[in-house]
Amino acid sequence: MSLGPIMMGLAGPEPSAEERELLRRPQVGGVILFTRNYESPRQIAALTAEIHALRDPPLLVAVDQEGGRVQRFRAGFTPLPAVARLGELHDIDPDRARRCAEATGWLMAAELRSVGVDLSFAPVLDLARGVSQVIGDRAFHRDAAVVAELARSYTRGMRHAGMVATGKHFPGHGSVAQDSHLELPVDPRPYRELEGEDLLAFERMVGYGIEALMTAHVVYRGVDPAPATFSRFWLQEVLRRRCGFQGVIFSDDLHMGGAGGVGDMPARARAALDAGCDMLLVCHGTEPVAQLVEALAQWNNPVSQLRLVRMHGRGGEGYEELRRDPRWGEAVRLVESYDRPHTLDLM
């Protein structure tokens, strides 16, 4: 059975009978986990093993484990600093910032792989322009070239741990004040300005071989009236043709306020798939997933299916074994060293 285009959320720390039935449907291709699904490393490892055992090829299991404000698994996992700390370090010592970024990406991915998670939706490639509160310190830096430099090191670390990377939120969420979880942000700038600023980090990361990108529920009014998630111009013309991106395109959560103007859930899903998304996040509730399973009963995109299969995690040590690995201890020490404010003052 191939992987379908729906990535669904679960209500609690183990799937209900209804959720298990939906996970077996061919229109579903993955699960995204949240804090509501997490109790302990042992429990989450059992949950991912159960999810993977339901299908062949296994369903993808993903989580947002960026660090800072967005770290879904905490107890039993290393506290990760917001990546803005790496940007601050880069302003003082670029070489050390790159080393720390690679160590952080490895540590984040290695810990997740140790409990069976395939993907973390990271790194954030948006710019820290001091405009967007929802992005804020989730962004590495205000300079797109620095963002790409640090993200390249971060994703190198992820790959060494057996995890591919997903950059977000294409083509850039850092320059709008509105929170797309609640409403539809509008960026009025023309394409030429976006190309020289927000878009630059994404273009460079495509050149560096990033495996996946996640879209922004943002309208770029000077370019296209549709939000980027639902825009053939942004996903097909810019991302696929001009940038040459061949990886997976994930939509951001279709429940978000920024997606609401497109219509009901089936309408949103069809619009995102028609625009060029390969996988759609539907993070809350079984009813909308059941609606999409029916609405997408005839969906078939062999190219998307091939892209998605390549997103599975590879290898990785078990949870206890990882903590006996000297690389883990060294990475933890590096992360702790740049997470202390006084460290930057003394360097």
Question: Which residues carry out catalysis?
Answer: 181, 252
- What's the rounded Cα separation, in Å, for the pair 265 and 332? 42
